[in-house]
Chains A and B, each alone.
Chain A
Amino acid sequence: MVYLTRKLEFSASHLYHNPAFSAEENKRIFGKCNNPHGHGHNYTLEVTVAGEPDPVTGMVLDLKELKEILEREITQRMDHRFLNYEVAELKDQIPTCENIARVIWNLLDPKISKGRLHKVRLYETPDLYADCYRNGARGA
């Protein structure tokens, strides 16, 4: 099995707010991330696909194809967007790193035609990231 990873960056804004909480609870739980005007990050996404290289092409999957999937599913949907308001999949969810990574997993998993989606790692900053992978799969 070979694991291949493709990286991409996108920039987006978000805010953390749960309407079920009082204003004070929102502030206490989410701190600075509760600013009603939102704030932004340069996100870095690493997508890892696992598979056996094709004996003819030597590829697990064509990187060009993966790049197009990422462009269509992630960049066009999330880059330079306000995640809370403009990404339907995140509606009614707090757009934390954990939730965005899961949404990205669910968007990509059915689109990977060769090999198998192994891991999604989403960096919100260089010091904070979320990993998403199948239960029982090898961790980071």
Chain B
Amino acid sequence: MTGGLKIELGRRYRFSASHRLHSAKLSEEENRRVYGKCNNPFGHGHNYVVEVSVSGTVDPATGMIANLADLDSFVEREVIEPFDHKSLNEDVAAFRANVPTTENICREIFARLKHFPKARIERVRVEETGNNTFEYAGEEL
């Protein structure tokens, strides 16, 4: 009955965190030029919104692709708990070497979520502010 249709479930989460954009591969001056205000050594923060899209078969018994409680607890454990009210540079190991731009945050979140056992993670969309949005769907085509 669903013949030829694809159904995805999208869920939004939030976390607030600080970061500083600074690359060890660039000089102090280059860092200031490239990252501008975001290079402030004390860091600054955002209210991030993370939108996670999952796909899979809709179970006829539950009407669900994945039980929301399972998805919520997985995202909470893998992303919200380790990121919320943290300094991304200091508190998240992945951002010691990688600059915590929203591009890299998007990829890191995708990497943390792609092992969700109950459904396929299609893509991750991160809003750094209401005006800046980044999306990552892995490298497979």
A interface, CB within 8 angstroms of B: 16, 18, 20-21, 29-31, 93-99, 101-102, 105, 121, 126-137, 139-140
B interface, CB within 8 angstroms of A: 2, 4-13, 53, 58, 60-65, 67-69, 122-123, 137
- Tell me the nearest residue of chain A to B60, going by C-beta: A93
User: Hey, which chain A residues are within 8 Å of B122, CB to CB?
Assistant: 139
A97 to B58, CA, bound (A): 11
A-B contact pairs, 16 of them (CB 8 A): A21-B61, A29-B62, A94-B64, A95-B63, A96-B64, A98-B7, A98-B65, A127-B13, A129-B10, A130-B9, A132-B5, A133-B6, A135-B5, A139-B8, A139-B137, A140-B53
**Cross-chain contact A131 with B7 (CB below 8 angstroms):** yes
A105 to B63, CA, bound (A): 16
User: Hey, which chain B residues are within 8 Å of A134, CB to CB?
Assistant: 4-6
User: Hey, which chain B residues are within 8 Å of A102, CB to CB?
Assistant: 2, 5, 7, 58
Q: Given A98-B64, A139-B122, do A31 and B9 touch, yes or no (CB 8 Å)? A: no
A133 to B10, CA, bound (A): 14
A135 to B5, CA, bound (A): 5
A14 to B44, CA, bound (A): 43
User: Hey, which chain A residues are within 8 Å of B60, CB to CB?
Assistant: 93
Interface centre among A29, A30, A140 (most CB of B within 10 A): A140
**Cross-chain contact A127 with B11 (CB below 8 angstroms):** yes
User: Hey, which chain A residues are within 8 Å of B9, CB to CB?
Assistant: 97-98, 128-131
**Cross-chain contact B62 with A96 (CB below 8 angstroms):** yes
Interface centre among B2, B13, B63, B122 (most CB of A within 10 A): B63
CB distance from A104 to the nearest CB of B (A): 11
**Cross-chain contact B4 with A128 (CB below 8 angstroms):** no
User: Hey, which chain A residues are within 8 Å of B68, CB to CB?
Assistant: 128
Knowing that A105-B5, A139-B123 are A-B contacts, what are 14 other residue pairs whose CB atoms are under 8 Å apart, sorted by A's residue number? A16-B63, A18-B61, A102-B58, A126-B12, A128-B10, A128-B11, A129-B9, A130-B8, A130-B9, A131-B10, A131-B53, A132-B7, A139-B122, A140-B8
